[in-house]
Amino acid sequence: MNHKNSILLAGAALILAAGCKSGNRNTADAIQPVIVTEAVKHDSDDPAIWINKADPSKSLVIGTDKAEDGALYVFNLKGKIIPELVVRDIKRPNNVDIAYGLMLNGKPVDFAVASERMTGKLRFFSLPDMKPIDNGGVPVFEGETGEMYRDLMGIAVYTSPEGKHYAIAGRKNGPTAGGYLWQYELSDDGQGKVKATLVRKFGKYSGKKEIEAIAVDNELGYVYYSDEQFGVRKYYADPARGDSELAVFAKTGFTEDHEGISIYKTAPDKGYLLVSDQGANKFQIFNRAGNNEWLKTVTVAAGHSDGSDMVSTPLDSTFKHGLFVVMSDDKTFHFYRWEDIGKDLQINE
């Protein structure tokens, strides 16, 4: 075999290996993103979408870059990094979520909250300016014994009908009978910074792998989380409604890990839940209402998709029915249109 042919074969092998790493992202049925963001430095992991209510076309996507010298990257709707908003030197930020209208210094503040895994703290930043509002971080899982029980991973925010804000945090490991998730009420510490007060510990765990993805449906008052390789668990988000498990679904049809959970709302009580089937580069779609029955499966081009977020608000001429953001294993985030993801489902049912 001559040298030229050796190079060609080696190159083909590398391409094949890259394709295998990310499963079937290049298959004919894979839905393609309309935008792929600029790359982060290390390891894209989880996105969240902030809606600019004054001008939705200026909405932002915040994404974690999961590394010891990690960051929160901020993108516009064209997938371009906004350098002046990027927050660096965050110690392995894992997940991120968005909420609106937390009262600080007597004024409503929109914010992003990220889990800083290496410090065991939640990091809070005001939106859209991404300024810290947490005095360097808010510790969680205090008093737990064992490093795995303090290894902060997932984060989601519940906003109650009364306007109370709660952070719901998950970790690498925890008790199986209940208390895997810890819920904190957020408030002003008296100095215009975020304070978190523990209000309950809840949530079962199969013990199979870990729990990372957490999502909250504010309108219906539910919290969902992916018990990886087992299913999706459902509880009331309001602590006053108790800690009983309401349902476990998505127990079959997944290739590998249950990961990111996103909610697409078509009405206050209708819409869809999208759950990442990570090893297959697929999302399983379930009914938001009722018993959360399975509806369909979609394959996406994003590789080894983990974290995701979704809004149904019209944003601009590209995202007329909202935006679906998925991380990809090539250090980017992929932006999808709902028309492509839910093309055989009712958009405005």
Classify residue 345: in a domain, yes or no.
no
Residue 153 located in a structural domain: yes
Q: Is 164 inside any structural domain?
A: yes
Segments of the chain scoring below 50 in pLDDT: 1-25, 348-349
Asked, for residue 304, whether it belongs to a domain, the answer is no
* Residue 331 belongs to some domain of the structure: no
Total structural domains within the chain: 1
Helix (H) or strand (E) holding 7: helix 3-21
The answer to whether residue 282 is domain-embedded is: no
CATH number of 114's domain: 2.120.10.30
Structural contact between residues 70 and 46, judged by C-beta atoms closer than 8 angstroms: no
* Token pair of 288 as six digits: 């938001």
Q: What is the pLDDT of residue 26?
A: 52
- What b/e sequence results for 72-90 when a residue is b if at least 16 CB atoms lie within 10 Å of its CB, and e otherwise? bbbbbbebebeeebbbeeb
- pLDDT of 27: 61
> Is residue 286 in some structural domain?
no
Query: Encoding tokens for residue 180?
Result: 């895997």
Chain centre distance of CA 12 = 34
Round the average pLDDT of the chain to a whole number and report it.
90
pLDDT in the model for residue 117: 96
Q: What pLDDT is attached to residue 239?
A: 98
| Sheet arrangement for strand 60-65 | 44-50, 60-65, 70-75, 87-90
**What pLDDT is stored for residue 28 in this prediction?**
62
Q: Which structural domain range is residue 65 located in? A: 33-257
Q: Please check whether residue 220 lies inside any domain of the structure.
A: yes
Kindly report, residue by residue over 269-295, the tens digit of the pLDDT: 999 999 999 888 899 999 999 999 999
CA 34 to chain centre: 20
